[in-house]
Structure 1
Amino acid sequence: MIAKLEKALYGLRESPLLWYNELSNSLEEAGIDRTDEEPCVFTDGKILVLVYVDDILILSPPQEQDSVDMLVKHLQDKYDLREEDFKWYLGIRVMRDRPNRKIYLCSAKTPTSTKLRESSISATQNFECHRSRSQPLLSLSMMDRLPRRR
């Protein structure tokens, strides 16, 4: 039996590019365009979509929840998606301060996982990510200033 492969997404050297193009096209169908500055950041001016391989993070102001729901539905119709709580992204702990509308990133690796010398602080000891000194990674009002690809 001879079969012709119509579409390959996995197992080839070009697979990451094929997946990126596939996802980009799906986001464009939903009205979300890639920014010129960063190929893995997509926006429509209200919703911000960050993509790293198969990790997709969607950020938006609360009043855009209906638009986010429509985008998620559009993607779920095409792909097998799993929604999770926004606590970790790319191995970085994410802490949300909803009342102040801020997002903090915290590297939570232990000394043994980063090959640092041991210290007197226990790896299992609770830690605080110094919120008072941190700057938010992204202010939601910044989304209005993001350039859009035309």
Structure 2
Amino acid sequence: MNKALEGLKMVIGKEAKEVSPSPYGAWLNGKLLAVEEGHLEMEFTVRKEWANPSGMIHGGIYAGIMDDVIGMTSYTLGREHFYAAVNLNVDFLRPSQVGEKLIVKCQVIRPGKSVLHLECQIFGEDGKLKAKAASNLAKTAFGFA
């Protein structure tokens, strides 16, 4: 039984500020839409504090969202150890405006024992790809608190 996955399934539809053990994840405040082993989908709403001076989302927020969702997706595997990102390769493809809803989809591509490889995509309300990332995560000596 995958206790991590079962725990995540119990919070589908809830905002992260209510349930996330991560202060950063709670601040981002995404809503979990769907989760399966190796796959996760979330929704985020672009907030004013995420915008750059032009009024569009700051690229660092796209990267931060994907990094956080990648970490959550690695957790769906139910492994005993924590996996930490060793890289994050991001492509910024389209801007997003304050108030816009974003759908983030992430999947484990290679579930190795010591290194995981994941890919993540952010889509706008219109279904167009806004940003994408790939990341490798390495097994650490740490477990989960």
Larger RCO (CA within 8 A; separation ≥ 6): 2
Give the number of the structure whose residues are more often strand, by fraction: 2
TM-score (norm 2): 0.29
Q: Which of these two proteins has the greater Rg computed from alpha carbons?
A: 1
TM-score (norm 1): 0.29
